[in-house]
Chain A
Amino acid sequence: MSDGKTVKDVMLGIFEYPHIPYWFSIEQAIKVVKASFIQTQKHTDPLAVLVFDEKYNLLGTVTLKDLLRGIEPSFLKPPAKAQLPEEEKTGLAVVWDSLFSQESKKLAQKPVSEIMVSAKHFVEPGDPVTKAAYLMIHYDLPVLPVIEDKKKFVGIVRMVEVFDTISEEIIKE
């Protein structure tokens, strides 16, 4: 299946993605996204920022959705105990224009470590692409880190390459 392709055949280098330390604020991360992706129009889809610790170990990833969720005012969040009727979940009196304003500015000072998605699942360069596909589907991962010898972070697997490899099998005459 999938021509015995391994992760190493489809992964991207880690420098395709911007890097930040975990103590960066959400605001700084937003600036990084703007500078690295939006201004340069270099869309390495999915747009994600890699978060590292002070010893340059990968801690997690931050996507645009994580960033927006991080600055979303608290009253918009679904209540912890979701016992309210559906239509009240987002609060009835929301004025959409003033959303993401004052409170968001304050929230943007939080460190990214509070909003990132921790990197818990990894593949090795020699693993089959199918293993990467399994992890990405089941854990809903936007990007999957590739770790060599259980230590060195060497690459990124994206859905597009996984899809391309696996779908090749299906459409082959």
Chain B
Amino acid sequence: MVELISRDEHEKLYLQLFEILKRKIESGEWASGMQIPTEEQLCKMFNVSRATVRNAVLELVRQGYLVRQQGKGTFVSRNFISEGLIMTSVFKKLWVEDESIFSKEVVAKTVMMPVGGLSEELGVHESRHVIYLKILWRSNKEPSILQESFVPFNICPQLLEEDIETQSIIDLFDKKYSIKITKVHNFFELFSLNKELAQSFQIAEGSPVILMTQKVFSGDTVVLLNKFYKKSDSNKLFIAFQRKAL
């Protein structure tokens, strides 16, 4: 059966194609070790451009579903978790050991322009509007984590109307707005609190915190930039990777 690409959806074509091909692999329609059709054949099958096919295949290679063999072609991985550290992981709003002890308060939800380093991190021009969210995570009523999130306005204008106190942004993207998250980059550094952030934590300016910067991608586009400032207390940040049984 050939699944069709919907041109009405605003989702990028190559992501749609990626999903379709991924399903073929997961369902076994494309058996492990099998050589997949050539780029040209795939273009014809789905009536899309070479660039679309190439991007979809590249993403499948990157995620370990396909392997390329020089001069031979592209094959379905025998063990589609490839060597190295590519594993499927669960994208969650925030990784903390025990989420139940946290209460979440949205302290800001507004729009700003990404001047300074922000436009570079987001990959948008400084003249583009960005949704800004600031969320305070408390445990035992004490501020523990401060989250700043930035979403280019054109990615999801409706986010401004959404309740993000009880829903996670990533869940909303994934389930409601069909913005498929394809990768997340995490960066960790030690950070000294500036005056404004220190006030939110009610601790002294200059206090050290862990800063986890999280770039959330859909394809090559950054759809969400999170900055988690975690002060020193009894809670820990935690990231889980999970091998997907095949």
Contacts and interface: CB of A to CB of B under 8 A. Distances in A.
Contacts, number: 55
Interface stretch (B40-48, B127-135, B227-235): B127-135
Nearest to A20: B112
Interface string B108-138: 1111110110010000011101001010000
Given A31-B116, A56-B160, A36 B127 contact: yes
A35 B127 CA distance: 5
Given A28-B115, A31-B116, A18 B107 contact: no
Interface in A116-154: none
B113 A20 contact: yes
B196 interface: yes
B153 interface: yes
A15 B111 CA distance: 10
A24 B111 CA distance: 12
Interface stretch (A47-55, A70-78, A84-92): A47-55
Interface residues of B, number: 19
Q: How large is the interface on A (under 10, 10 to 19, 20 to 34, 35 or more residues)?
A: 20 to 34
A100 B109 CA distance: 34
B110 A54 contact: yes
Interface of B: 107-113, 115-116, 119, 125-127, 129, 132, 134, 153, 160, 196
12 contacts: A19-B113, A19-B129, A21-B110, A23-B196, A24-B112, A28-B115, A31-B126, A32-B115, A32-B126, A54-B110, A56-B109, A56-B111
**Across the A-B interface, the 9 shortest Cβ-Cβ residue pairs:** A35-B126, A54-B108, A31-B115, A19-B111, A36-B127, A56-B110, A32-B113, A18-B113, A52-B110
